[in-house]
Amino acid sequence: MTEAHPGIRFKFEVECTGEPVFVPEDAVIRLLCHIFIERLPAPAIADVWASIHDAWEWHSRPRVSPRPVDRLPGSMAVDRVFGVVEEPPFRIAED
C-alpha cells in the first residue's frame, strides 16, 4: 500500500472503558468509511469528496413535514420518492 500522506499517519482507535458495549451499526460504518478513505490513493480523494459533499448537502436540506391531518394511510412510500412540499391551495375561479 502506498501512503497517501508521507510523514502523516491517521490513527483510529475505539476504546471500551469497562464492560463490552454495543456499538451501533452506523457508528461502525462511519469508522470503516474513515479507514477506507485513508487507504485511497491521492487522486481518488477528489471524487470521494464530491460524492460525500453531495450526500451531505442532500441530507442537510430542511425538510417540511406534512401535518398529521393531511397524511393519507400508506402514503409514506410516496413521500420517500417525491418528498413533501406544502403550497397554498390552487383556486380556480368559476365563470
Rounded to whole angstroms, the Cα distance separating 33 from 81 reads 26
Which position has the higher pLDDT, 30 or 8?
30
Phi then psi dihedrals of residue 17, to 5 deg: -105, 90
Q: What is the C-alpha separation between 60 and 54, in angstroms, rounded?
A: 10
SS3 45: helix
Please give the model's pTM, rounded to 2 decimal places: 0.48
pLDDT range class, residue 76, cuts 50, 70, 90: low
Those residues whose C-beta lies under 8 Å from the C-beta of residue 83, and which sit 6 or more positions away, are 63
Rounded Cα distance, 80 and 63, in Å: 12
Give how far the C-alpha of residue 50 lies from the chain's centroid of Cα atoms, to the nearest Å. Answer: 13
Tens of pLDDT along 25-49?
888 888 888 888 888 888 999 999 9
Question: What are the backbone angles phi and psi of residue 25, rounded to the nearest 5°?
Answer: -55, -40
